[in-house]
Every structure is written in structure tokens, then in C-alpha cells.
Amino acid sequence: MTDFASYEKSGVSIDANDEMVGQIYASLENTFSPRVIAAKNGFAGMFRLDYNQAFKKNYKNPVLVACTDGVGSKVQLAAMAHQYDTVGIDLVAMSVNDMLVVGAEPLFFLDYLGVHKLEPAFIAQLVKGVAAGCTMADCSLIGGETAEMPDTYRKDDFDMAGFAVGVVERGYTIEGDKVRPGDVILGLASSGLHSNGYTLARDICFKRGRFSMTDQPEGLHGARLGDVLLTPTRIYVKPVVQVLADHRENQVVHAMAHITGGGLVGNVPRVLPKHCDARIDTGTWPVPDIFPFLQDKGPVQTDEMYRVFNMGIGFVLVVDAKSAQAVSTSLADQGEKVFTLGEITEGTGQVRLTLAICH
């Protein structure tokens, strides 16, 4: 009998793909706003830009804003823990929090998953997380792709990329040009590491250290290491979009930064004008347990900690001093932990960190 070559024998299953598409469609549909046009054939996702009167009123000259990001090696941790239904939230968070920075509100999202083997139940868990993130971010999950690549991804390994599109009115983009000395720097609490620095965190916990995901090491006050490391990235969309809408005409929010790889010192300067510094006092917010834990177990030098990790602040707003209290209160009323980190001074586009003792 001839040993025919086939796609299935080479490691790719078309039938498993069909089964998977059926399982995940319900997750997608739950996120659809009335502006989504249901795709009949799956070639493309469609979204009506001009669905309602409010949109036409708010957007005379709409600018589309697009972001893409992954979750870094947090996927490796999810694989270690066999916990697949939360990294999708991280995936959405990374792109939509970036988009907020220019003042945009997210409209829709798509995801790309690269996997070793297409197991429908596993993919459904990943997409469930993405859909949950989209609901938190008020955006519709209108498409995605799952690629089965047995020679690129090892068994149980995978990667994911996310893509968000939003909109901002032409005259209301936030680009940092209004930042001036005296502006107040507000910080919103992160939920932990978010999605950055995991290659270092894993190195410290599982290579240099010999912890397991289920350990409850001293310093984490009873929490399991795996739970702390896998806590999803906080999504700041709803409170920030609300604050921007409330202050749309007087534009009191002068700049924002999503604190990702590079930390406060790497990300805040991206939105500072050249004649300003950001003076941030690190004693103004509580640093979550996981950061001193990692610093101690590394050990890691303090400046490296602030260069790699968010250290407890996930999002920063630079606000006109007169409105800082109102903005802070509004964000707090919507459930954010808000800290006044410092202020803008004359300078050269740098962040000057006043270091407190970290632990």
C-alpha cells in the first residue's frame, strides 16, 4: 500500500480547525456591539463606523488609531500553570491601554494565536480570555486567526498577538504638547507585573530560584506565586475614556502613558515635551509585594527594577494642576486606585525618580 503524504500526517488538522471555529464563535458574539456586521464567510470582520447619531455628533473628522502587542513570555507562565483563560485579558489590555494614550476609545479587536497543536478546548480557553478582555475594554472581538505550527511551537507552547482599532476626533488627539511645568502627575495602580518583564521574573523565580507555581513564599503574604504572576493586566479603558469625555472641551488631560516595558523611566518620557521633566516621588504609592519579592530573590538592582517593571503604577496621566483633584476623584469613583506621583518641572524631557526605599 502506498504511504501517501497528507496534511494530517504532516501535523496539521483541517477538521480540528472547523470544530474549533464552532466552539469559539459564541465567545466572539458575546462581545458584538450593534455596529458589528456578522461575517457570513469568515474572510473578514466588519464594523460600521457611523452606526449612531452620537458617533456622528462626536466625530466630524475621525482619526483611526491602531495598536498591536503581545503579552511577552507571560504565555510561558500560562503554559506552565495550564491556566489559559486569563492571558487573553492581558492581550487586550496591552493594546487598548496603549491606544488610550492618544485619547482614543477602542472599537474592535482581533487576535492571532500560534500553537503547536490545534486542540479546540485549549483554543476556546484562550479566546474566552480575549473575549473577557474585550468586554472589559468595551470593544468587539470581530476576528482572529489560529495557526497550527508544530515545528515552530513546542508542545504546550504558544504565542499570541492582539490588534486593536479605535477612534479619536482629529482636534482632540493627546500628544503631550500641552504639558507644562506645574502639571500634576497622577498614577493608576497596576494589578501586578501586567505583561512586562516576565523573562526576568521567570528567570528569578524558576531558574535562579527553585520556586513552583503553587508555592506561597514568604513575602507574598500567603498568596500563591502562580496566582500573583498570572494576575491579568488591568484595563484602564472605561474610567479614562469617561474622564476624557467629561473634560473634552477644556482638555485638562495633557498627556498619558501606559507603563509597559521600560517602566516609568522608559515610558513617561515618550509623552513629555523637550523642555519638561517629570519629577516622580517613588514613596507616593504602595509597591505591591511581588516587586520587592523579585528584587530580593534576584537580587536585582533598584534602577533595573524601575527600568523593567511597572513597580505598581500601570498608567499615568499628566493633568492641569487646577483640574487634578477633579480628575483624580472621578477616576477613584470609577474604581481606580489613584496616586499623585509628582509634578512636571522645567527640564529636558527626562523622568527624575526620587527613590524611596523599595522594601
Question: Minimal distance in Å, beta carbon 212 to a copy of itself?
Answer: 17
Quote the CA–CA distance of 325 and 198 in Å, as a whole number.
Answer: 35
* Main-chain dihedrals φ then ψ at residue 249, nearest 5 degrees: -75, -40
Quote the CA–CA distance of 333 and 186 in Å, as a whole number.
Answer: 15
Decide: is 102 part of the binding site for a copy of itself (CB under 8 A): yes
Q: In terms of CB distance, is 80 or 326 closer to a copy of itself?
A: 80
Q: In terms of CB distance, is 112 or 211 closer to a copy of itself?
A: 112
Decide: is 165 part of the binding site for a copy of itself (CB under 8 A): yes
Please select the residue that binds a copy of itself; options are 29, 52, 121, 152, rule is CB under 8 A. 152
Quickly tell me which residue has 515635551 as its cell: 273
Alpha-helical (H) ranges within 72-151 are 74-81, 87-100, 120-136
Please select the residue that binds a copy of itself; options are 1, 41, 53, 249, rule is CB under 8 A. 41
Binders of a copy of itself in range 251-280 (CB under 8 A)? 257-258, 261-262, 266, 270-271
Burial 155-176 (b: 16+ CB within 10 A, else e): eeebbbbbbbbbbbeeebebeb
Decide: is 108 part of the binding site for a copy of itself (CB under 8 A): yes
Question: Minimal distance in Å, beta carbon 103 to a copy of itself?
Answer: 10
Q: Which amino acid is at 122?
A: F
Binders of a copy of itself in range 278-337 (CB under 8 A)? 298-301, 304, 307-308
CB-based burial label for 35 (10 Å; 0-12, 13-18, 19+): middle
Three cell numbers written together for 212 = 513552583
Decide: is 92 part of the binding site for a copy of itself (CB under 8 A): no
Please select the residue that binds a copy of itself; options are 22, 26, 29, 68, rule is CB under 8 A. 68
Angle, CA 106 vertex, CA 50 and CA 240 arms, to 5°: 120
Binders of a copy of itself in range 206-245 (CB under 8 A)? 208
Binders of a copy of itself in range 175-204 (CB under 8 A)? 175-176, 197, 199-200, 202-204
Decide: is 120 part of the binding site for a copy of itself (CB under 8 A): no
Segment near a copy of itself (CB under 8 A), from 73-81, 119-127, 219-227, 274-282?
73-81
Residues contacting a copy of itself: total by CB under 8 A: 89
How does strand 276-281 pair with strand 338-346?
A: antiparallel
